[in-house]
Amino acid sequence: MSESDILNPERQREEVETGWPLELGSDDLRRMVDAAMERVTAHLEALPRQPMSYTSGGEELARSLREKEMPETATPFTDLLATVFDQGLQKTYNTPSPGYLAYIPGGGLLHAAVADLIANAINRYVGVWVAAPGLVELEANVLRWFCQMVGYPEGSLGVLTSGGSLANFTAIVTARRIRLEEDFLRGTLYCSDQVHHSITKAAMLAGFPVNNIREVPSDEQQRIEIEALKAQIDSDRQAGMEPFLVVGSAGTVNTGAVDDFEALADVAHERSLWLHVDGAYGGFFALTERGQQTMGGLELADSITLDPHKGLFLPYGTGCLLVRDKETLRRAHHLEADYMPEMQQAPDLVDFCELSPELSRDFRGLRVWLPLKMHGFSVFREALDEKLDLAAWAYEELRSIDHMEIVAEPQLSILAFRLAPPDFDDDAGDELNRELLRRINGRQRVFLTATTLGGRFVIRICVLSFRTHLDRMRQALEDIREAVGEALAH
């Protein structure tokens, strides 16, 4: 079989007539992977030089790729690669670039791509223990390591989810089922005004009226105000509501603020509330000494969301929920069915379908396990330490720019700033900062985003990509300085 056979539409057509075209042979698989790898490596080599975000024309691109008819005949693989790489990949945010300092950067460790290839090729079923006990154990190892990282005791565990939103959702449903009766509509939950909107969405989807979600004000460091929280819980209880859950943040999306977990745990304990911590952005900084100091008391939470596709630099589609007591997760999700195999009763073994809303799912544990085993946690700790250093460096540099106001100092690796010259009122200041952001991003070397703090438009930097190092941060500061000069002269 010649090398081009698998890429040849004639051959694909012949296969339809004569063989079993869906049963790819080893040689064909190798050729497909090689052809794909050529495009992937070329793309990755160019990545650092590619523009950060070129989305104008996205509408035309999307419409040009619309296919009304179901394809009935074969298309050569190389043509399909061209569709993905030459068209689909255009007009995107360059999320894996070292210059992506926007929102919360995703990762994309290539080890995980290889792990996914293996996991999908072997396609074993990890929803129930008996179907793949060894592979389930590899995934359980990852969860136990995470529990160790956050300081959880024996008996803790969790599940890997598709992301932070699903982890938060699972946490809220678990807290609801453990702390409230079936009739739960008087249940109220508490979070700061800085909490990620996935918490509100999760509460909504878990069946709570939106009015039962109490947004507690935050202090000048964007941390939940403990006295206001207590007062709100107590007045709700007096009014006949059933406070059952408080959510803290281990790194808010706006500014990376970390709540006071010891104080939150006291409040939760005294008032019998479940404490959930959303550490989707910041949780993995617990690997570092500085992160541990900033997030003291994290282990007091009943549940913690982590997002390996953020803080462990993995590709999108990898979240995690940890619970201090594995039984809580099991009690919330356990359900029997006649056609299911018997579940494990041994406390050291786990059927993941008993801890999660999912039954069938991908073997996502492998994409976490492989890079962690290949490098060890030490390499991830160093990389996260570097991000803390880079954010601290950017903070010092920004402070040296005239009229630059640091609105949020980095507690972890996010900071927020605003250009505030004296002769600009608040509204004119907002417009000036919008212009500044346009000019920074227009240079296409870094991509920053903005948010609103205290009603004012502020620009954020979030350093979290494993590809971001000092060279790119220097470019970021160069671009910011130049853009400040231009925006003020404008």
Ligand X SMILES: Cc1ncc(COP(=O)(O)O)c(C=O)c1O
Nearer to ligand X (CB atom), residue 306 or residue 394: 306
Angstrom distance (rounded) from CA 208 to CA 214:
11
Angstrom distance (rounded) from CA 470 to CA 485:
23
Nearer to ligand X (CB atom), residue 129 or residue 274: 274
Helix 365-375 vs helix 110-122: crossing angle, to nearest 10? 130
Nearer to ligand X (CB atom), residue 278 or residue 479: 278
Nearer to ligand X (CB atom), residue 187 or residue 256: 256
Q: Minimum Å distance from CB 160 to ligand X?
A: 12
Interacting residue with ligand X among 11, 196, 276, 387 (CB under 6 A): 196
Inter-residue contact 480 to 429 (CB < 8 Å):
no
Nearer to ligand X (CB atom), residue 28 or residue 278: 278
- Span interacting with ligand X, options 33-41, 62-70, 160-168, 397-405, rule CB under 6 A: 160-168
Inter-residue contact 168 to 280 (CB < 8 Å):
yes
Nearer to ligand X (CB atom), residue 187 or residue 282: 282
Using CB under 6 A as the binding rule, whether residue 439 contacts ligand X is answered as no
Q: Sheet of 242-249: strands edge to edge?
A: 157-161, 319-323, 303-306, 274-279, 242-249, 187-192, 213-216
Distances (CA, A) of 209 to 180, 206, 243: 15, 9, 13
Using CB under 6 A as the binding rule, whether residue 163 contacts ligand X is answered as yes
Residues 282-321: x where in contact with ligand X by CB under 6 A, - otherwise, as a string: -------------------------x-----------x--
Question: Of all helices (H) and strands (E), which one includes residue 13?
Answer: helix 9-18
Residue 415, helix vs strand vs coil: strand
Nearer to ligand X (CB atom), residue 449 or residue 475: 449
Give the residue nearest to ligand X (CB).
164
Using CB under 6 A as the binding rule, whether residue 244 contacts ligand X is answered as no
163: which 2 tokens?
């992301």
Inter-residue contact 286 to 271 (CB < 8 Å):
no
In the window 45-104, what residues touch ligand X (CB under 6 A)?
104
Which residues does 204 contact at the CB level (< 8 Å), separation at least 6? 210, 213
Nearer to ligand X (CB atom), residue 135 or residue 461: 461
Residue 100, helix vs strand vs coil: strand
- Span interacting with ligand X, options 157-165, 171-179, 289-297, 325-333, rule CB under 6 A: 157-165
Using CB under 6 A as the binding rule, whether residue 465 contacts ligand X is answered as no
At residue 295, what are phi and psi to the nearest 5 degrees? Answer: -105, 30
Using CB under 6 A as the binding rule, whether residue 278 contacts ligand X is answered as yes
In the window 94-113, what residues touch ligand X (CB under 6 A)?
104
Nearer to ligand X (CB atom), residue 85 or residue 316: 316
Using CB under 6 A as the binding rule, whether residue 165 contacts ligand X is answered as yes
Q: Minimum Å distance from CB 307 to ligand X?
A: 5
Beta bridge partners of 388: none
Nearer to ligand X (CB atom), residue 243 or residue 283: 283
Angstrom distance (rounded) from CA 159 to CA 473:
35
- The b/e string for 288-312 (b: 16+ C-beta within 10 A; e otherwise) is beebeebbebbbbbbbbbbbbbbbb
Using CB under 6 A as the binding rule, whether residue 164 contacts ligand X is answered as yes
Instruction: Count interface residues toward ligand X (CB under 6 A).
Output: 12
Q: Minimum Å distance from CB 163 to ligand X?
A: 3
Q: Minimum Å distance from CB 446 to ligand X?
A: 19
Using CB under 6 A as the binding rule, whether residue 198 contacts ligand X is answered as yes
CA angle 120, 88, 472 (to 5 degrees): 90
Using CB under 6 A as the binding rule, whether residue 256 contacts ligand X is answered as no
Q: Minimum Å distance from CB 251 to ligand X?
A: 6
- Span interacting with ligand X, options 88-96, 275-283, 361-369, 471-479, rule CB under 6 A: 275-283
Using CB under 6 A as the binding rule, whether residue 248 contacts ligand X is answered as no
Using CB under 6 A as the binding rule, whether residue 35 contacts ligand X is answered as no
Angstrom distance (rounded) from CA 230 to CA 244:
13
Is residue 418 packed enough to be buried (19+ CB in 10 Å), middle (13-18) or exposed (0-12)?
Answer: buried
User: Would you tell me which residues interact with ligand X (CB under 6 A)?
Assistant: 104, 163-165, 196, 198, 253, 278, 280-281, 307, 319
